Amino acid sequence: MKISIKILLFLVLVFNFSCDKTEIDKYNYIVIFTDDMGYGDIGVYGHPTINTPYLDRMSVEGQKWTQFYSAASVCTPSRAALLTGRLPVRSGMASSVNRVLFPNSKYGIPKSEILIAEKLKDHNYKTAIVGKWHLGHNDEFLPLNHGFDYYYGIPYSNDMDKINNNPYWSEYDRDELNSKSYNVPLMENFKIIERPADQTTITKRFSEKVIELVNQYKEDNFFIYLAHSLPHIPLYASDDFLGKSKRGLYGDVIEEIDFGVGQILNQLKKLKLDKNTIVVFTSDNGPWLTYKTHGGSAGLLRNGKGTTWEGGMRVPAIFWGAGIVPKSVNEMGSTLDLYPTFMSISNISYKDDNELDGVDLSEVLFNNGSSTREIMPFYNGSELYAFRYKNYKLHLKTSSWFSKVETHDPPMLFDLEIDPSEKYNISEENPEKINEILKIINLHKEKIIFGNDQLESRD
């Protein structure tokens, strides 16, 4: 009897969240991109004390991906990759000189790059970004010059423009969080509307702004990119969430993000936009482990942000919305894949665009198919450190957060299906597999044309 009830509930769930893709003229898209959230920071991904009921529900109603990768382990290149569908070395948005853009950086995302927003705008979509941009703060590089109709957020990381010389942890020894230690601007389009931005309320305001835009765009097709500036340090939470999580301040931040996700999904349902909207939730890279309890968790994965270990680039990823087959997906995917997937779903031609590194995931999302992604390159700055081919991952070089680089000869080899924690190097037993992957790496390198370094030059 219990089995029958479970089957019935599953069929109801599939019925409620499935529809014939061919009946939908155009889909709306919302991408929710967190900053430094680890693979293990969500309840449904195994965290024991962070309460994320809305993301957990989103994963049950949609697809939870367990082998999903960002294309970089730090902020700027990972964002460039998501929006262009291209490895950031192609656009020059990955550098071994400066890993990210800074407030005194001269350049940003090149005009030659075609962003998701530009492509969709050309097909009569309303486009907006709410949150952290970090692809260039000078006017020519800001979102409105790259396909977005509207921008509300901060131009770079929330720990930049520090006003005082206080050590990071001293800010949290006070009775109240002081968000005015960082002179980060809050912008609307090209105008600074608040400086310093009040970061204690910024997560709440970002979520509310997305709901406002959904209401504004409800009669149109839209692409909204919500790039939360947290849980990147410094950490802040609003009064409604501060001190509420068992996990401490970091947990407060994640639980406030989760609440905002729930409000957005509920608004889509209220307006019946869940019938033609796809929502994707993921992270720009792994957790910033050097900040101890103010950093997140990579779960069973090794290391975190700034590294090419699994913990640095494998991230949580949940797809939710109209027609998506509810299931857990244990195949490879990447933020690189959003560009071709969205274009395919909306029947928009993209084959003649810039050379893409993403693959179309629509067969997995809608038809219970298999992912066609077989490889994943792992770049540290502009240098290839590791490479995954099917279930095997080969490490040419490794390092922890800005620590000494270690070169491996022969390369280290791990079977990620059996050993996702990268504990057991099997290179000695598998010289043929190493040679096979090295040949694939050579083919990969032959096809990569590096863009001019956009991160190197600073005032």
Least Cα distance to 378 among 67, 68, 35, 73 occurs for 73
Q: What are φ and ψ of residue 18, in 5° steps?
A: -120, 150
For residue 174, the tally of other CB atoms under 10 A from its CB is 8
Beta strands in 245-402 (DSSP E): 277-283, 314-321, 327-334, 375-380, 383-389, 392-398
- Between CA 240 and CA 35 the distance in angstroms is 21
Q: Contact at 8 Å (CB) between 165 and 201?
A: no
- Between CA 341 and CA 366 the distance in angstroms is 11
- SS3 for 21-44 is HHHCCCCEEEEEEECCCCCCCCHH
With 0-12 / 13-18 / 19 or more C-beta atoms within 10 angstroms meaning exposed / middle / buried, residue 53 is middle
**Maximum separation of any 2 CA atoms in the chain, in Å:** 70
Q: Contact at 8 Å (CB) between 67 and 314?
A: yes
Q: Which amino acids are annotated catalytic?
A: 75, 134
Beta strands in 92-216 (DSSP E): 126-132, 150-154, 186-188, 191-194
Token code pair at residue 432: 């043929």
Token code pair at residue 20: 């014939």
Beta strands in 297-417 (DSSP E): 314-321, 327-334, 375-380, 383-389, 392-398, 406-415
Residue whose structure tokens are 């959003």: 338
| Sign of the alpha-carbon dihedral angle for 369, 372, 373, 374 | positive
- Between CA 146 and CA 76 the distance in angstroms is 15
